Each structure stands twice: as structure tokens, then as C-alpha cells.
Amino acid sequence: MRALIVGGCGFVGLNIAEALLRRGDDAVLFDANPLHPVAEAAFQALPGGFTVQLGDVRDPASVAAAFADHEIDAVFYGAAMTSGPEREREAPAQVLQVNLLGLVNVIKAAAAAGGVGRIINIGSGSAYGRHRQEGKGVVLEGVTPSEPESLNGISKLATEAVSRRLAGLLELDIRSVRLAAVYGPWEIDSGARDTLSPLMQAGLSALRGERVLLPRRDRQDWVYSRDVATALSALADAPAPSHDQYHIASATPCGVIDWCAVLARHYPDFHYALAKPGEAATINLHGDQDRRSLSGARLTADIGHTLPSDPEAAFVDFVEWMAQHGAFWKK
């Protein structure tokens, strides 16, 4: 399989590329940014082949060129502006152009090129808005209401409706996913992420030998980026999925404090604690309460893929990745 990964030099895109290359597939990484040298060296050691195509999803001609230059079997749309309030206030058009209209350009180009078996639209649990935090139990596709407040969530919800409509009009196979909160290898501030994960914040502090203060104990469906990539690949391979929307989520919630405990075992100069009254936390959890977990039951029931349920194993794998590729985070 040769897959076009739109946003291929970003966080999730790099994980998808690594997963495909590891199993011997080919990948075309389409991105406005060049491939990081550390990632390039790591990918060159894998059995699959890859190319990088610089381009802008907002430019239809740039997107069309990616399909003209390569025979594409599958597409992963991971280009996104993971925006915070400041960017939404100052550059709302940029968020919508990349998150939504860029996807439209890719869908149109895929239809014109022909031969694309499946397009995976990579969305986010932010599409649920506050309803992901309210109530009890897990969040289910098609059951929990979607009323996003942020432009990121609004645009992600819109991509699902647009994908569904254009899939019918253009006779394309398009599936959308909503990711739980992702952490793991290849996360970096590329200029498009305003909300870096708390686990990345803690990891960087561990590399610097710092002490961190957590605002509270959290327990959420943090999902490992390598597990996300494997699940997305499984969905791309599935012969006949029954639904056009799936969650990609961990089966076992965990907390940033659990990750800090693993970091402390491997980095003796790293220390962590819960902030006491009057102390300022140094880790931003991006919210004062936990969100309900996304259920991964539909993905399991439909295509037989279940994400791993051992956060400790993921943490250890991440620490090993940091030891090998920590230069990825150096400026």
C-alpha cells in the first residue's frame, strides 16, 4: 500500500508513517513543513519507502500535485490547527481553512485522481464539546451529543458531515475517527499545535532534570500515539467497515501523575508533586476536570481491532523512545 499522509510531518502523521514503514508499506508525507532530521533518520532504517512532498492543503493545485506525482491507495487526513483561544481570536480563517477546507481539497483531488481505496478523516473528541465531560459512563458514537465550543471542535465536527456528504456525491470511501487525548513519540511544537499534551510537558521537564507541580490528579483516556497509528492502519485495511465514524481510544484510563512516576524511575533528577494550596502548577492539564472516556467498542466489534490496555507498557516504550530520539525535542 502507498498512503498519502496529509500533515505527514506532524505529530499523528509521523506516527502513522512510522507504523506503515515498519510493516513495509510506502508513505508520501505531505506537509507545509519539512521532515525533521531525527524522524528522517529513524524512517530510513525501516523497511518501507517514503517521500516528502512540501505543499499547502489550502492550495488545491498543491494538493492535486501530490496525487499526480504518486499512485495513492489510501489517504490519512491529519492536517490540523490544534488551536487555542488566542489563535481562534486572531486567525479563525486559518483554523477553518486547514481543518475543513483543506480536507475538501484532498477529497476532490482524490476523486479526480481515482484509485484511492479509502480516505481516513482524523478528527478529535473535541467535537463533543462539554458533553464529553457531563454525565456518567463512556462516550458512545451516535449517542452522546456533539456541541463543540472551540473552533477546533466545530471544524472537526464539520469535517465529518462534509465527508459523509462528499463520499456519497463522489462515490468515495471516507471514514472519520475521533481521537481521545493523544500523547507519545513525535509530538512537537510545529507551529500548528497550541495545546501540547501535559505528558509531553512532563517529558521535557524530565529531560531537563526539573521539578514539576501538577494541579491535581487526573484520570482520562490518554491514548498512546503508536497505538493510534496502528488502529488507523487497521481501519484503512478493513475490507468493509459498517460505520463511517469510530473512536480511537485507550481501553484503560490513566493519569499524568502515573507517567511522572515512570519518568522519575528513569530520570533521577526529575521530581514531581501535587501543587499545594497557594503553589502555582507547572503542568497545564488544559481543564479543571477530567473528561469521560471515549468508548472503543465500535471499532472492536466492527473490524476486530482493540487498542492495548496497559498504560505502563506504553509509558516504558515512550521512555525508551525518548532515550533513543530525545534530540527530536532539542532546538
- Own/partner pairs, 158-165, CB within 8 angstroms, 24+ separation: 158/100, 159/77, 159/99, 159/100, 159/103, 159/121, 159/123, 160/121, 160/123, 160/127, 160/244, 160/245, 162/100, 162/103, 162/104, 162/107, 163/103, 163/107, 163/119, 163/121, 163/244, 164/244
How many helices, marked H, and strands, marked E, lie in the chain? 12, 11
Encode pLDDT of 249-269 as tens digits. 998 999 999 999 999 999 999
- What does R_g of the chain's alpha carbons equal in angstroms? 19
pLDDT given at position 322: 96
Residues 6+ positions from 114 with CB-CB distance below 8 Å: none
Report yes or no: 66 and 102 within 8 Å, Cβ to Cβ: no
192 pLDDT exceeds 70?
A: no
pLDDT given at position 100: 97
190 pLDDT exceeds 90?
A: no
Q: List Cα–Cα distances, 303 to 56, 75, 224, in angstroms.
A: 33, 19, 20
Choose from 134-143, 166-175, 286-295 the range with maximum mean pLDDT.
Answer: 166-175
Q: State percent of the chain over pLDDT 70.
A: 98
pLDDT given at position 134: 81
Report yes or no: 180 and 173 within 8 Å, Cβ to Cβ: no
Q: What is the mean pLDDT of residues 285-292?
A: 90
pLDDT given at position 193: 62
189 pLDDT exceeds 80?
A: no
- Own/partner pairs, 235-239, CB within 8 angstroms, 24+ separation: 235/120, 235/175, 235/177, 235/299, 235/303, 235/305, 236/1, 236/3, 236/74, 236/76, 236/118, 236/120, 237/1, 238/302, 238/303, 238/305
pLDDT given at position 85: 84
Of the two residues 196 and 261, the one the predictor is more confident about is 261
pLDDT given at position 191: 64
119 pLDDT exceeds 80?
A: yes
Encode pLDDT of 201-219 as tens digits. 999 999 999 999 999 999 9
Q: What is the mean pLDDT of residues 43-70?
A: 97
286 pLDDT exceeds 90?
A: no
pLDDT given at position 87: 82
76 pLDDT exceeds 90?
A: yes
4 pLDDT exceeds 80?
A: yes
Report yes or no: 197 and 155 within 8 Å, Cβ to Cβ: no
Q: What is the mean pLDDT of residues 150-171?
A: 97
Report yes or no: 235 and 121 within 8 Å, Cβ to Cβ: no
pLDDT given at position 331: 64
